[in-house]
Amino acid sequence: MKSLNVGIIGYGFMGRAHSNAFRRVNNFFPLNHQVILKAACGRDAARTRAFADTWGYESVETDWKRLIARDDIDLIDIAAPNNVHAEIALAAARAGKMILCEKPLGMNAAESLTMVKAVEKAKVPNMVWYNYRRIPAVTLAKQLIDEGKLGKVFHYRAKFLQDWTINADVPQGGPGTWRLDVKVAGSGVTGDLLAHCIDTALWLNGGIASVSGMTETFVKERPHALTGRKQKVGIDDASAFLARFNNGSLATFEATRYARGHKALYVFEINGEHASIVWDLHDLHRLQYFDHRDTGNVRGWRSIHVSDGDHPYMKAWWVPGLQIGYEHSFVHQVADFIQGIETGKSAAPTFRDGLATDLVTDAILKSAKSGRWEKVRKG
């Protein structure tokens, strides 16, 4: 058993989700690497220490450059806000570390491209945390599509709805609300929520050729969490776009933080010539499937409870019929990443796949400004 020494940067929501995955993975997946939680890094020493103690990290750093310089760290996990992803990833690649990076990869596609070049030049294993691919029901959707069950795809539809920023008093900037500060986040829901929908869509339905987007910022000014001063808001609060995929299918996508009542409603639907698929994050262990080729008297929507031993990832968990949840998608991602290292077959989404999503988000933002359809640039 080899050791895989992890140094994580960031201790927020994603720091916790990743740490849980690092801790659990060897309990459930047979791997040749033992994950060791070597060091946690954050600017606030006391908070980082508390985080390290909670999750069992052996040591603490307050400067990510020192973490990267350490010989006893194999893998750098970037769970920090978007504006520092690139700088850290470039330094980590130069130091020959494996890198896991929170989504979106960069602040924009140009920045992401520098990250792709850095990891490819250094030949270091790399991956972006688009975790929803590894919800078993979503992975099952991919299997059904790859088996040709849907036939030619006509439509792709996705939405990711939240409601946590409707109040104009919610600040921008600061630890819990940096996603509202354009200088830290890069964009609003386009890079945050639509990015998930786009990553899943590119994986399930192939490349997107062109988009027509619209965005809106409903609250124009917000106090900054660190200074208390009101500042113009630079992020998009809501974003929707039409898309044409390379395979000829048409698509609609929508994300917002202004859909009262919705906390994290991610739903996608795909309609093919033979069959359709629907997945809903609120019912994440189910896949809705309709197959027109079923005999007429039993034809109808099936609700597949994705919890059986032959369903993706499920053999690793409990007995058939017992479902798993959100956090397991991160465990699966670490398991696949490590298997990738062991087999030499890099697990996706790599940084290059992350760039593909950022090229789409760039095109949406460009289209929202120009009022025209925009082609998605090639990476």
Q: What residues line the site for ligand SOE (CB under 6 A)?
A: 13, 162, 192, 196, 264
Nearer to ligand SOE, 97 or 257 (CB): 257
User: H or E element: which one contains 329?
Assistant: helix 326-343
What is the spatial distance between Cα 97 and Cα 88, in angstroms, rounded to a whole number?
A: 11
Output the smallest distance, CB 247 to ligand SOE, in A.
26
What is the spatial distance between Cα 11 and Cα 52, in angstroms, rounded to a whole number?
A: 9
Nearer to ligand SOE, 212 or 357 (CB): 357
Output the smallest distance, CB 4 to ligand SOE, in A.
24
Nearer to ligand SOE, 26 or 131 (CB): 131
User: H or E element: which one contains 161?
Assistant: strand 153-161
Q: What is the DSSP code string of 268-327?
A: EEEEESSEEEEEEGGGTTEEEEEETTS-GGG-S-EEEE--STTSTTGGGSSSTT----HH
Output the smallest distance, CB 290 to ligand SOE, in A.
27
Query: Using CA of residue 344, residue 349, residue 351, residue 356, what is the dihedral sign?
Result: positive
Output the smallest distance, CB 233 to ligand SOE, in A.
16
Q: Which amino acid is at 62?
A: T
Output the smallest distance, CB 104 to ligand SOE, in A.
9
Rounded alpha-carbon distances, angstroms, from residue 63 to 73, 108, 247, 254: 14, 25, 46, 38
Output the smallest distance, CB 341 to ligand SOE, in A.
25
Nearer to ligand SOE, 289 or 330 (CB): 330
CB 328 within 8 A of CB 313: yes
Cβ neighbourhood burial of 84 (10 Å; 0-12, 13-18, 19+): middle
Nearer to ligand SOE, 254 or 374 (CB): 254
Nearer to ligand SOE, 162 or 276 (CB): 162
Output the smallest distance, CB 106 to ligand SOE, in A.
15
> CB within 8 A of 286, min separation 6: which ones?
137, 279, 280, 303, 304, 305, 306
Output the smallest distance, CB 154 to ligand SOE, in A.
28
CB 72 within 8 A of CB 5: yes
What is the spatial distance between Cα 122 and Cα 136, in angstroms, rounded to a whole number?
A: 32
Output the smallest distance, CB 257 to ligand SOE, in A.
8
What length does the chain have?
Answer: 379
Nearer to ligand SOE, 18 or 33 (CB): 18
CB 192 within 8 A of CB 185: yes
What is the spatial distance between Cα 295 and Cα 222, in angstroms, rounded to a whole number?
A: 57
Nearer to ligand SOE, 162 or 367 (CB): 162
Output the smallest distance, CB 158 to ligand SOE, in A.
14
What is the spatial distance between Cα 83 and Cα 9, in angstroms, rounded to a whole number?
A: 13
Nearer to ligand SOE, 131 or 212 (CB): 131
Residue nearest to ligand SOE (CB): 192
Nearer to ligand SOE, 197 or 275 (CB): 197
